[in-house]
Structure 1
Amino acid sequence: MAAQLPDIITLEAKEMDLYTNPLEPFWETFSKRKPNFKITENCKRGYVAGWAIKDNQLILTQIKGKHYARSLFFGDKLVELSMKKLFPKSKSNYILANWYSGKLRIPAGPMTQYEHYNYNSRFEKEIIITVNKGNVIKMVTLDYTQQKLVVNLR
């Protein structure tokens, strides 16, 4: 499997790669049927989601991906998935990721080792954010060059 396109997260006004896919547990948590996304070699999940940390909460801000939708007369049709289609009852432009609990891995600094598989490449630093039901619990920066752990108080 090829290296995968990561999701994107905005952290302290900076857009960064996100080497975790917090939208994946959504389908199971809410017993939703995952759309039949058009997959590619470098994006097996078929979409790229945009995220942000806002007021110590993990927020889904966008989703980009195409999926096959049933058409009565023309068979499956490839259409763009939107936030409105995914969350039709929401009146907001973003969604609190209250289904997600786990760690977010954000690479920072130059790449030190490339791996042509999933998200296995290594970087000088990594930011690890612990999330519980959409709420940020802890954020730490692992600095592999200094062999140091920095706890970011929020």
Structure 2
Amino acid sequence: MKFKLFLILFTFSIIKILGTGQQPDKIIINNKEYDLLNNPLDAYFEKHPDDHPIYGPKIRKKTEKELMIPFSTSNYRGYIATFKIENNTLSLVDLKLLDLDSGKDRYISVFKKIFGDRKVDLNYSGILVIPTGELLESAHFGYSYLYDKYHLMTIQRDAVIKEKELNKDEFIRFKVDQFKAYKNTEEYKTEVKNHLKSWNGDKKFELSRKNTRGMSKKEIAQLKKEYEFPPSEEHINNFLFVLINPDFVIIDY
């Protein structure tokens, strides 16, 4: 599939109304804190579920209060992690959880409760995306923000092996190239299958008697027309291009 820049930007504009922007993790570089448009702990928690601040056993005990999950539409993770680059090494220096008792959007550190004094080996490999310039567009959908400058860092098992400053146009080209490489992965195939499965589920419900009861024949005909064909490859790719952050796909830039 050939990506067209105008189509990407059009898709970016359309999805502004589809979701909520997410509170990013943070990263400290040369004693300055930046937003981080990646979540390196996702892969870590898959391998170390007991360290998860919400679903692991170290913070929440098996009580009725366990059902009170710190959740916000602006932070589906429920936590904010802070990382640091020091001596060309990526490390985790803090982990904060939404404080349910405060009644406000306030976060408290749970790093010591989970990790104590031990060093956390993230074993992260991927490309970190750090916005360093002015915000140009905010799609309010995941991390679909557009800045005029970015700092990219390629990490291999927590070690920085490459870094580079990119402007907006260079960053868009990087995202397109990374997505093309992502399409060759098993993760991409899984996401496509899940998207089609979700579409079929929606179709089954939307066209069910329960849902169409009370609709006019014209309304039902229009609904059937909307579900006449499954989403095209181009539609799915444009959706995944904005939704998915394939930071594990390492390419040159």
TM-score class, shorter-chain normalisation, is 0.7 to 0.9
Q: Is the 8 A contact 2:124 2:157 kept in 1?
A: yes
2:70 to 31, 38, 62: 38
Q: Which residue of 2 aligns with 1:55?
A: 87
Inter-partner Cα distance in structure 1 for 2:152 and 2:127:
6
TM-score, scaled to structure 2: 0.48
Counterpart AA for 1:34: H
Bigger Cα displacement from structure 2, 35-44 vs 105-114:
35-44
1:138 aligns with 2:170: no
Runs of 4+ aligned structure 1 residues displaced above 2 Å come to: 29-37, 95-99
Deviation at 1:85, TM superposition (A): 2.1
Inter-partner Cα distance in structure 2 for 1:96 and 1:57:
12
Deviation at 1:24, TM superposition (A): 1.3
Inter-partner Cα distance in structure 2 for 1:103 and 1:67:
31
Inter-partner Cα distance in structure 2 for 1:86 and 1:67:
16
Number of residue pairs aligned between Structure 1 and Structure 2: 134
Q: Is the 8 A contact 2:70 2:78 kept in 1?
A: yes
Any unmatched runs of 5+ in structure 2?
Answer: 1-18, 55-68, 101-107, 172-253
Q: Is the 8 A contact 1:29 1:99 kept in 2?
A: no
Give 1:105-116 correspondences, 5 Å limit.
Answer: 105-116=129-140
Q: Which residue of 1 aligns with 2:8?
A: none
1:104 to 121, 128, 135: 128
Bigger Cα displacement from structure 2, 129-138 vs 33-42:
33-42
Give 1:2-151 correspondences, 5 Å limit.
Answer: 2-32=20-50, 34-36=52-54, 37-66=69-98, 82-88=110-116, 90=118, 95-144=119-168
Q: Which residue of 1 aligns with 2:220?
A: none
TM-score, scaled to structure 1: 0.76
Deviation per CA, 1:87-133, whole angstroms, max 9, x where unpaired?
A: 1461xxxx454321111110111111111101101000111111111
TM-align CA RMSD: 2.5
Q: Is the 8 A contact 1:98 1:135 kept in 2?
A: no
Inter-partner Cα distance in structure 2 for 1:87 and 1:113:
37
Which structure has the bigger radius of gyration? 2
Residue identity (%): 30
Inter-partner Cα distance in structure 2 for 1:14 and 1:66:
23
Any unmatched runs of 5+ in structure 1?
Answer: 69-79, 149-154
The structure richer in strand per residue is: 1
Inter-partner Cα distance in structure 1 for 2:85 and 2:51:
26
Q: Which residue of 2 aligns with 1:77?
A: none
Q: Are residues 12 and 89 of structure 1, via their aligned partners in 2, closer, same or farther at CA, if it must alter by over 3 Å?
A: closer
Higher RCO (CA 8 Å, separation ≥ 6 residues)? 1
